[in-house]
Amino acid sequence: MYQHDIGKRSAKVKNVVERGAVKKFAEAIGDPNPIYWDEETGKRSRYGRNIAPPTFPRVFDYGVIEGLKLPSKGLIHGEQHFHYERPLFVGEELYCYAEVKDYFEKQSSMGLLGFLVIANNGEDADGNLIFTSTSTIIINEAVRKAMSV
């Protein structure tokens, strides 16, 4: 179903790890660690500045992968993994993009399931990879039928 999309990427989109957004995100996930919001704590840390929570990249804009058609409802979030080369620093600019990494299918008791694997990547201004977030989207039989109509 999506095999022809493997390898497609979006254009890079500039994002900023904005201090206020990091503080609100930390509050929303219930993580009170002052490394995310208190400037003095950040200065005294091993990083010398504030960092963002590990799941913060969920809020970034990764652009649009041209030609990738996903339904607006009915998709199932299967799993997600984050890999970091280093933490995200508050105030830094990142260039983010999405890439279709894989698509495979498995037969289940609920019918044929599709598994679409998408990587969201963030690089610094020099093109150095800072993080990758890999998500698996599950496409069930009902969604598959609705897509073919």
How do residues 25-43 score in pLDDT, each as one tens digit?
A: 999 999 999 999 999 999 9
Q: What is the CATH number of the domain that holds 129?
A: 3.10.129.10
How do residues 61-98 score in pLDDT, each as one tens digit?
A: 999 999 998 887 888 999 999 999 999 999 999 999 99
| 47 within a domain of the structure (yes/no) | no
pTM over 0.75: yes
The number of distinct structural domains making up the chain is: 1
* Residue 92: CA count within 13 A, CB half-sphere: 19
User: Does the pLDDT at position 146 exceed 80?
Assistant: no
Which pairing describes strands 93-108 and 13-16: parallel, antiparallel, or unpaired? antiparallel
| 88 within a domain of the structure (yes/no) | yes
| 130 within a domain of the structure (yes/no) | yes
Structure tokens, 84: 């970091």
Percent with pLDDT over 70 in the chain: 99
User: CB-based contacts of 63: which residues, under 8 Å, 6+ apart?
Assistant: 10, 11, 12, 13, 96, 97, 98
| 66 within a domain of the structure (yes/no) | yes
| 78 within a domain of the structure (yes/no) | yes
